[in-house]
Structure 1
């Protein structure tokens, strides 16, 4: 009898054991959605090629061909969304952030808002309902969408409608598209930044109605407070040059130089999206601050703010997915974000992360 009581008591205590003592199951494993039916999302890591000598639009041809096989229905880029810009404009704390990431485009936004009658948030909401390719619309509708996109600071979206309307080859334009807007879009049109060279071009070829802005910089105001101590720590450790010259960045530089000379950036994208590069980037670019003895724990602050930014990017991407449920997703973003976003987005019930390295070159 006493033995039964002890066994029952032991069983009771095992049920009451703290969660840390129990086996944990990844959230994704608890899903009722069959794995092969989950929404596919690809985080395409990229270097930034705007202004890099020798890089032309044709260097991205193979990248476009491989992404067309993936056929994303939502294309997102590393640009600040309208709802964050609206917040930046309410306080001087974000004046530098606004100047850095929006700059002269702010005056274009004002033109877009005047033309569309929508503030940035209203424009962003209106765009979430867009369907149909730019080429399927009449000219008046194309112009309306172009100016709505400008109102929301979605300049790559505006670019695909600018191109649909004739782009730089068009001589005469209606007054509905102000000269200042045309001038900025004409300059953007020839950029080799990945937002144009990949996202805008891919959106055109697939007939996507929009390119989503999903970056975040709400952490910038707090980040500015720790920059002096971070820079001091870097100088003690050999300076930024020491990081740039370390792995995996030195290998990437060699691969990129050779890729530019050979006319295709595909090898660079293969490397920067590899697990090897991701591990090296985390250690050399982010975790490096955790190995420095900061008096005010600036390394830990830096880590927290970096995590905050990536969680917000993931949240902005999920907002796009909520507007277009079940749509295959591509996010093109700086390589340092990929390890975090892959992990964050994999921990959910309704989607699965697919890798660039799973796609095949023709």
Structure 2
């Protein structure tokens, strides 16, 4: 095997200036929580994340710019796939008069001169602009800042957009239930969407056969992986969210999960090499997501960054971010103690 000719691991030795601190929080997808789930059970987790004092928070969502891109290429990205991840921005465009590119430009302009004590009208206008930019989570951050008496129509928010923001208040989604409340606690004005499905847009000749092959590989999970899943299910049913997050962020739980998922896929024996296609798409997606994280704090040397992502991404995120110059990856276990 060819070995790297240039060792980059010590390039930042003796660097001038502060090092960035990045905490990757592996998360469950709250949309999959049972009906017994109590959002207030997240409070101990939020306390620990806020104590880390991130200056920038990234989330597993596609940016407005990314959604705008894939929507313009229906021959490459199937509209039914796009609709799973990207909200229709047309209602916000009708309310604000801004299409996605114009809204993104307006957000940038607004935040450059954002006052220390914005008025409710300014927050409503920024929330509407974020919605027009197809950045729902950042719009919700602005909504949470508003006193309940100020959460109403006006300044770009029409009745439809207000109803949308009100629905976000009770939506089980880690961007709304974890990232946004932490941002508000710390005085942050926005979140950064870093997901990217252009990297996993792999051609599959027979989706049904592909799905069966991958499911068969997953069904081969060993006893240890099954026991870990059962433990996670028990904590989920009991709404012991801090204990659950502590568990899924341990190296052992992650090793068991990725071996039962991607390791099993690499051992899958279909003549079409479906398992390899699956892993290739997964790695392409993670590479682009980590690139988006790096770009998000490129303008902020020494930033403290919280990246909230599905737990199965965490090993890739930790490994890839650990190769970046001037970046330290923080042990999530220590933060969640």
Class of the TM-score when normalised by the shorter of the 2 chains: 0.7 to 0.9
CA RMSD of aligned residues (A): 2.9
The alpha-carbon deviation at position 122 of structure 1 amounts to: 4.2
Aligned partners of 1:225, 1:323: CA distance in 2, in Å?
Answer: 42
In our comparison, the structure showing a higher alpha carbon Rg is 1
C-alpha displacement at 1:276, in angstroms? 0.4
Residue pairs, 1:217-236, within 5 angstroms: 217-225=197-205, 227-234=207-214, 236=216
Say yes or no: does 1:188 pair with 2:171.
Answer: no
Please tell me whether the aligned partners of residues 214 and 275 of structure 2 are also in contact (alpha carbons under 8 angstroms). no
Equivalent residue number for residue 264 of structure 1: 240
Q: Which of the numbers 2, 9, 20 marks the counterpart of 1:39? A: 20
Residues 142-178 of structure 1, C-alpha deviations (whole Å, 9 max, x = no match) = 12210121022221111121222334x6575326311
Structure 2 unmatched runs, 5+? none
The gaps in structure 1 that reach 5 residues or longer are 1-17
The two structures have a TM-score, normalised by structure 1, of 0.82
Shift of 1:204: 1.0
Equivalent residue, structure 1, for 2:315? 339
Q: Report the alpha carbon displacement of residue 305 of structure 1 after superposing the two structures with TM.
A: 1.2
**Compared CA separation, residues 133 and 211, structure 1 to 2 (3 A):** farther
Counterpart Cα distance in 1 of 2:54 and 2:151:
33
Alignment of 1:278-317 (within 5 A): 278-317=254-293
What do residues 88-114 of structure 1 show as CA deviations (whole Å, max 9, x unaligned)? 111223212221112xx30xx223334
Report matched runs for 1:47-126 at 5 Å. 47-50=28-31, 51-92=33-74, 93-94=76-77, 95-102=79-86, 105-106=87-88, 109-126=89-106
Whole-angstrom distance in 2 between the partners of 1:335 and 1:178? 36
Aligned residues: 333
| More helix by percentage | 1
Give the direction of change, closer, same or farther, for the CA distance of 1:43–1:128 in structure 2 (3 Å limit). farther
Of the three residues 181, 184, 193, the one matched with 1:204 is 184
Q: Tell me if structure 2 keeps the 8 A contact 1:131–1:209.
A: no
Aligned to 1:136: 117
Provide the rounded CA distance (Å) in 2 between the counterparts of 1:76 and 1:236.
Answer: 33
d(CA) in 2 for partners of 1:323, 1:353: 18
Q: CA deviation at 1:139?
A: 2.3
2:211 alignment partner, SS class? helix
